[in-house]
Amino acid sequence: MSRIKSWTDTPSKPHFVPPQGAVDSHCHVFGPQALYPFSPKAKYIPEDAGADDLVTLRDHLGLSRNVIVQASCHGFDNSATLAAIAACGQDRARGVAVVDPDISDAELKALHEGGMRGVRFNFLKRLVDHAPKDKFLEIAHRIAPLGWHVVVYFEADLLEELTPFLEAIPTTVVIDHLGRPDIGQGPDGTDITAFKALMDAHPNFWTKVSGAERLSLQGPPFDDFVDVIAPIVARYPDRVLWGTDWPHPNMQHDIPDDGRLVDILPRLAPGDDLLRKLLIDNPMRLYWPEEVDG
């Protein structure tokens, strides 16, 4: 398998200046392979994208903190993500782990000490071979006492089938990239309507209003994405997160300019109040609760 370079080394400087303390709540690191080899089961093998590059990007974009989500190419071995959290410092980075269902309590505790605050369940067949719901629920019950939450990644065609499983999760549930709706259906389309019904019915469900570069049919400046997703931010202001998704796993065409992804923010969340919730208050509650008053 040849290694994929899925990001640009020369992102533009955003025109939009994020508020001080803004969190990139969805990004990843890859390797470096020499230190942290990729999983034999990886569905793609990326070029190295480690903590130094992430910090350079964070500062370039005017962001303050990162939530580093374990990428599928590293399987159940969270060492690369933990090393990146340590390199950034836990005041600047926290993480979301992917764990073997047979993980021990001691290993979960070590992940917590290393800055993990959630676990991710991935249902994309092109990324993982197995997504055992019964095992995932066992894990969800075991991480609940740590104060962690569950992150789920699925596509819109699975929403209905997965709903009973999602409802059985005892923690906050964060849905990656809005469950990947078909943006081309517009703001009242079937996919986003079903997604809103799910969010309306479950106050413990949150979502990441990220993935414009994957979901938009039009590309920059992502007007179609903004038309469909800005109403979601307005409807659930206290249950939304945003992230760059750098280094954009698996993307091989139309590699996004991260500066332009940041430039969507004032249109996704118009006004200081919404922006502050999306970029600071909401992620701080999930990832740095010890810094949140009350």
* 249 in contact with ligand 0GY (CB under 6 A): yes
* 146 in contact with ligand 0GY (CB under 6 A): no
Identify the residue among 33, 185, 204, 250 touching ligand 0GY (CB under 6 A): 250
Q: How distant, in Å, are the alpha carbons of 20, 93, 281 from that of 276?
A: 9, 18, 6
* 245 in contact with ligand 0GY (CB under 6 A): yes
Whether residue 232 contacts residue 192, with contact meaning beta carbons closer than 8 Å, is answered with yes
Measured between alpha carbons, how far is 211 from 53 in angstroms, rounded to an integer?
20
* 97 in contact with ligand 0GY (CB under 6 A): no
Measured between alpha carbons, how far is 26 from 258 in angstroms, rounded to an integer?
13
Q: Does 105 qualify as catalytic in the annotation?
A: no
In the complex, the smallest distance separating the C-beta of residue 256 from ligand 0GY, rounded to whole angstroms, is 11
Measured between alpha carbons, how far is 157 from 223 in angstroms, rounded to an integer?
24
Which residues make beta-bridge pairs with 30?
Answer: 49
In the complex, the smallest distance separating the C-beta of residue 272 from ligand 0GY, rounded to whole angstroms, is 28
Measured between alpha carbons, how far is 181 from 184 in angstroms, rounded to an integer?
9
Helices 190-201 and 223-235 cross at an angle (nearest 10°) of 20
* 73 in contact with ligand 0GY (CB under 6 A): yes
* 127 in contact with ligand 0GY (CB under 6 A): yes
* 258 in contact with ligand 0GY (CB under 6 A): no
In the complex, the smallest distance separating the C-beta of residue 86 from ligand 0GY, rounded to whole angstroms, is 20
Q: Name which of 72, 136, 141, 142 is nearest 104 in CA terms.
A: 142
Number of residues that bind ligand 0GY (CB under 6 A): 8
* 261 in contact with ligand 0GY (CB under 6 A): no
Residue placing its CB nearer to ligand 0GY in the complex, 12 or 39: 39
Q: Which stretch binds ligand 0GY (CB under 6 A): 33-41, 66-74, 109-117, 162-170?
A: 66-74
Name the active-site residue from 176, 245, 258, 263.
245
* 45 in contact with ligand 0GY (CB under 6 A): no
Identify the residue among 72, 81, 172, 216 touching ligand 0GY (CB under 6 A): 72
Question: What are the helix (H) ranges across the chain?
Answer: 51-61, 79-88, 105-113, 133-143, 159-167, 190-201, 212-215, 223-235, 258-262, 265-268, 272-276, 282-287
Measured between alpha carbons, how far is 128 from 197 in angstroms, rounded to an integer?
28
Q: Enumerate the active-site residues.
A: 245
- Note the residues at the interface with ligand 0GY (CB under 6 A): 71-73, 127, 177, 245, 249-250
